[in-house]
Structure 1
């Protein structure tokens, strides 16, 4: 038996083949369990930082690509312990079979590792999205999904460059330089699009407004229905649908009407200049009584000016940030009560009256 184990076949003993075969067999057999326990270990570490982490989802997304990488790594490292047979040292299109196998092994290790990284991004995005949902910022999932795809592309490009370098021994410095020049040219050609893209990041991070907010920008007012990577869509008060580039949304003076703490109503009365001071005092007292409406939180009211043509009573009042329709109904009610008060006090609004007198000439 010992002679059989030490028998040399293709520059390696039978014992070496058996050891390598057993290691590879158990590597593939237990890759799922190895990946499961490695994933469980990482899930345990992440659970301390993220309390809402679902270990089962983490293992489901991570274990399979991690197991494949571990199996490939074990296979390559184990096969490397064998001597390459001189009998198989042949060339295929000027490349030796040994070199081809080395290239294939390097490519497999790099590809499976970066596949594991790309799959890990899905779980990271899931974790970030859940965090946004819990914090009450569901609109930010658009940015999360964009970054997921963007980072996946970056990981894929890095993996491809490493395959070129370590598999084909390609000098990637020149390629990176060329890609930089091409990237600069593309960035110059797409200057406005990139400005809008950067502006979208500012909107997502700075949050001057969110989906569903009522805003006023560039003489337009309406409700934000969608925030994209290039533009923002607004349903205007006229029920039209406008598209505003994100750069303008960032650079323009934007009034977020949804963030108001109160709604303001104004009062301005111009009454006759010959109105008696006692009547003016009664008018002010009556308006203040009207403004004690439970819907009104606070108010200001004064006789602000005395001119040659009128006495000017001005003020303002504030309500909760109600719907505009309800607020207009409150304004209407207050205005009607003020008109009724002026009628009861026999106070007329100022205005020039024109009278025509016909004088009959004397005979």
Structure 2
């Protein structure tokens, strides 16, 4: 039996052929199970750091490319143990068949490895996207996650291409990297504004000064953010027009995120007729303070701030923690209650007056007349 296995065909013994063939057969038949248990081992390591990892999703994305990489790696390693027959020692366009086999094996190993890395990136981004989608305060951020995923995958693919050029074709990539850096600098100068807006979108993504659905005010623009893009932010203005603002301006300018406001202040200024008695004013102030002492009011004040020739000035202020819609309802309700209180106390608002002089014929004394221009 040993004599049979020791027989040599094409520079290799039967024993070598059997060992290599058995190894490749085992890997092909059990590739699925090998990939499953390797993926499970990687999953347990990742589970130590991230508790919310979903194993079925991880297995569906990582198991197949991982199994392919392991199969290619073991197959190429096993075939490398065989000696090349003398019949195959020939050159093809100055490239020997031996070098061609080496290049093919190296290419397959690098290609399948980076394919596995790209699938792992898909899984990581899927997990990050799930975290952001669960958080209602961070809705709309996932559109930048898609960009990050594609950008990282392109960078990984470029690195894989450089590895293939370096280790498969023995190409000196130093000159290529130098040329790429020069081209990159030229492109960066040509696309300066676009790159500034792109970097600003990253700042918005990480710093989160606002999110989709927030009501914002920026210089002369105010409205609701509908979309945060890579170059610009789209705002639906109060006039229902669609405004596009560059991301750089959204980051560099003073922005008021009105949706993040925790308190809102309301002010009501009254001008009461100067003929109103002090007792009626005191009753009015007491009633206003009672109206502004509701449960939805955090703090309030009502004071007489001045007296003019025809009016007594009263300033009312109050702060509420309600949202924008409830704030408008509260302000309207309090204003109507104060008006109703003034009607009950028979207190009128001040009327605007002006003096009119009528010039008569010589010898007659001008008589000043008071003309009421305000509403009755």
Structure 1 length normalisation: TM-score?
0.92
- C-alpha offsets along residues 237-263 of structure 1, whole Å, 9 cap, x if unaligned? 111111111111111111111111122
Distance 1:143 1:330 in 2: 38
Does the 8 Å CA contact 1:271/1:349 hold for their aligned counterparts? yes
Corresponding position: 1:84 with 2:84: yes
Please say which of residues 154-163 and 1-10 is displaced more in the overlay: 1-10
Report what 2:18 is aligned to.
Answer: 18
SS of 2:140's partner is: helix
Does the 8 Å CA contact 2:139/2:212 hold for their aligned counterparts? no
Report what 2:43 is aligned to.
Answer: 43
Corresponding position: 1:27 with 2:23: no
What is the CA-CA distance between 1:352 and the residue it aligns to? 2.6
- C-alpha offsets along residues 61-117 of structure 1, whole Å, 9 cap, x if unaligned? 111101111111111111111112222110001111001111111111100100010
Report what 2:112 is aligned to.
Answer: 112
Corresponding position: 1:265 with 2:266: yes
Report what 2:373 is aligned to.
Answer: none
SS of 2:304's partner is: strand
Distance 1:167 1:221, change over 3 A: same
Report what 1:243 is aligned to.
Answer: 244
Taking the TM superposition and a 5 Å limit, the aligned residue runs for 1:1-363 are 1-136=1-136, 137-273=138-274, 275-307=276-308, 310-324=311-325, 326-343=326-343, 344-349=345-350, 351-355=352-356
What is the CA-CA distance between 1:341 and the residue it aligns to? 3.8
What is the CA-CA distance between 1:293 and the residue it aligns to? 4.2
SS of 2:353's partner is: coil
Distance 1:359 1:290 in 2: 53
Does the 8 Å CA contact 2:114/2:160 hold for their aligned counterparts? yes
Structure 2 length normalisation: TM-score?
0.89
Please say which of residues 69-78 and 136-145 is displaced more in the overlay: 136-145
Distance 1:346 1:63 in 2: 82
What is the CA-CA distance between 1:276 and the residue it aligns to? 4.1
- C-alpha offsets along residues 40-71 of structure 1, whole Å, 9 cap, x if unaligned? 11112222332222212211211110111111
SS of 1:51's partner is: coil
Distance 2:340 2:32 in 1: 84
Give the number of equivalent residue pairs: 361
- C-alpha offsets along residues 162-221 of structure 1, whole Å, 9 cap, x if unaligned? 000001110001101111111111111111111111111111111111111111112121
Distance 1:30 1:281, change over 3 A: same
Computed over aligned residues only, the root mean square deviation of the Cα atoms, in angstroms, reads: 2.2
Does the 8 Å CA contact 2:61/2:123 hold for their aligned counterparts? yes
Does the 8 Å CA contact 1:273/1:350 hold for their aligned counterparts? no
What is the CA-CA distance between 1:348 and the residue it aligns to? 3.7
Does the 8 Å CA contact 2:223/2:237 hold for their aligned counterparts? yes
- C-alpha offsets along residues 112-149 of structure 1, whole Å, 9 cap, x if unaligned? 10001011111111111222233433322122211111
Report what 2:369 is aligned to.
Answer: none
Distance 1:56 1:291 in 2: 58
Please say which of residues 217-226 and 274-283 is displaced more in the overlay: 274-283
Does the 8 Å CA contact 2:20/2:78 hold for their aligned counterparts? yes
Distance 1:183 1:337, change over 3 A: same
Distance 1:131 1:336 in 2: 46
Distance 2:340 2:131 in 1: 56
Contiguous gaps of at least 5 residues in structure 1: none
Contiguous gaps of at least 5 residues in structure 2: 365-376
Distance 1:167 1:49 in 2: 36
Distance 1:357 1:276, change over 3 A: farther
What is the CA-CA distance between 1:359 and the residue it aligns to? 6.7
